[in-house]
Amino acid sequence: MNKIDINKKLIIDRIDIIQKSVERLKKMRKMSQGKFALEDNFAIAEHNLRRALEAVFDIGSHILSRIPHVQVSAYKEIAQKLGEYKIISKKFAENNLTEMAGYRNRLTHFYFDVTPLEMYKIVKKDLGDFDTFLNYIKVFLSHHSKRK
């Protein structure tokens, strides 16, 4: 893919949001399941997970919007197109990022069904997906950015 004109500052700002949110979530891994389930802790985890997911898809949407003739309207579509255009691996796009898109929608539209136990499991086991995504984006930035 040729270099595309992206807003590097926007992407770096979103990377910062992801990193800070994930760091907060990683600190919560040390909590017992019972302490994690307390209302305030669960709310903090939910907030940070949603922020990190929103920032992931803001980055994806921004990059894709700079590719001629590419239009996306749904989060899962962003995931698929990022793989299709080799911004991230197709396997990661189809599996992990598509699942992250689905969970973002769940947190936003079906938040009342999200349980402390499922959130606890995500915090314990799945935060590495953010690191993987960020690694792909950092490689992309090093090869494709034209401006600050």
pLDDT computed for residue 3 by the predictor: 72
**Ranges in the chain, pLDDT < 50:** 147-148
Give the CATH number, domain containing residue 48: 1.20.120.580
- Name the residue among 44, 59, 46 with its Cα closest to residue 9: 59
Give the pair of three-digit tokens for residue 145. Answer: 């950015």
pLDDT computed for residue 147 by the predictor: 47
Indicate whether 13 belongs to any domain: yes
Domain that holds residue 75: 8-144
pLDDT computed for residue 89 by the predictor: 96
- Name the residue among 79, 85, 115, 126 with its Cα closest to residue 98: 79
Strand, helix or coil for residue 2: coil
Indicate whether 99 belongs to any domain: yes
User: pLDDT digit string (tens) for 110-132?
Assistant: 988 999 999 999 999 999 999 99
- The model scores a pTM over 0.85: yes
The CA distances from residue 89 to 30, 52, 82, 84, 97, in Å, are 31, 20, 8, 8, 10
Number of domains observed in the structure of the chain: 1
Indicate whether 2 belongs to any domain: no
Indicate whether 3 belongs to any domain: no
